[in-house]
Structure 1
């Protein structure tokens, strides 16, 4: 699997789900489970690459405006949501997170379930459980390759203070910021 194929999986699942993340998750699992285990592993690795790429103070600022707070978990789940929106939304947000104002309807956004689709697809495809052999599962292989979106990722860009947010991301602030 390459990055083009990765985005095809994401975009196709998003399209059939019509905004329902549970349906998007199931569409991804079902679609991935039809492929060879190595293909599923590569999906996990590419997902992690994008989660690391999105680890940026500007993305964190957008999440702060939308959710009102930032924790390690909420920031990760927000980046999952961002990937789940598809390639165009993801790439535009990396360039300018203020573009999310045209995508976001409700302020809180997360898609934690995206972290587990490769594992569930792998289990479905191989008939084995992760606890039987974690090292051969997508997450274990990705981690062994150094793709750790938690401690292996350093947030890029410049840190900000809350009073900078209205000027950093004026469109998001106008729509979702607290006055």
Structure 2
């Protein structure tokens, strides 16, 4: 699945969901389940590529400001949320994490369910119920696309006292100033 197809699926599901993540998840599963199994696997691989691309110290800093803490699972789910917002928000955040201040509401941003849409769609499409190495997650992992790996976080690390200057809009919006 190419980048354009991936982002088109994300955008269509987000638009159809009117801000409801459960609806967005259901829409993605529904659309993916109509595709060929190889395309569903392609979606999973593309998702993992973007999760790895978003593994950046500035994205960690944004989550730290918004939530007050960062740990492995919430950081992964935050990056899922970021992808679920669509290509423009995702790309802008990678270029300047402070751009998130204009698209974020108070409260935790999490879209863990995005991690499972390809698997669910694959089950529906193939009729297989027991996950094995032919499932999207297995194929993606075999290709080295693991978001659980010890991949190198990009960018420069920061200390908490640098956050107000690093991401001033987020700092101001989330009341840490």
TM-score by length of structure 1 reads: 0.97
Q: Structure 1 segments of 4 or more deviating over 6 A?
A: none
1:149 aligns with 2:147: yes
1:53 aligns with 2:53: yes
What does 1:121-140 correspond to in 2, within 5 Å? 121-131=121-131, 134-140=132-138
Q: How many pairs were matched up?
A: 177
**How many angstroms apart in 1 are the aligned matches of 2:137 and 2:98?**
32
Q: SS at the partner of 1:101?
A: helix
1:35 aligns with 2:35: yes
**How many angstroms apart in 1 are the aligned matches of 2:125 and 2:102?**
37
**How many angstroms apart in 2 are the aligned matches of 1:130 and 1:59?**
35
TM-score by length of structure 2 reads: 0.98
**How many angstroms apart in 2 are the aligned matches of 1:109 and 1:164?**
22
1:86 aligns with 2:77: no
**How many angstroms apart in 2 are the aligned matches of 1:101 and 1:76?**
19
What is aligned with 1:164? 162
Gaps of 5+ in 2: none
Post-superposition Cα deviations, 1:20-42, rounded to whole Å, max 9, x if no partner, equal 00000000000000000000000
CA contact (8 A) 1:80 1:110 kept: yes
Q: SS at the partner of 1:136?
A: coil
**How many angstroms apart in 1 are the aligned matches of 2:16 and 2:64?**
29
Calculate the aligned-residue CA RMSD, in Å.
Answer: 0.9
Shifted more, 102-111 versus 4-13: the winner is: 102-111
What is aligned with 1:22? 22
- Aligned-pair distance for 1:130? 3.6
**How many angstroms apart in 2 are the aligned matches of 1:148 and 1:67?**
25
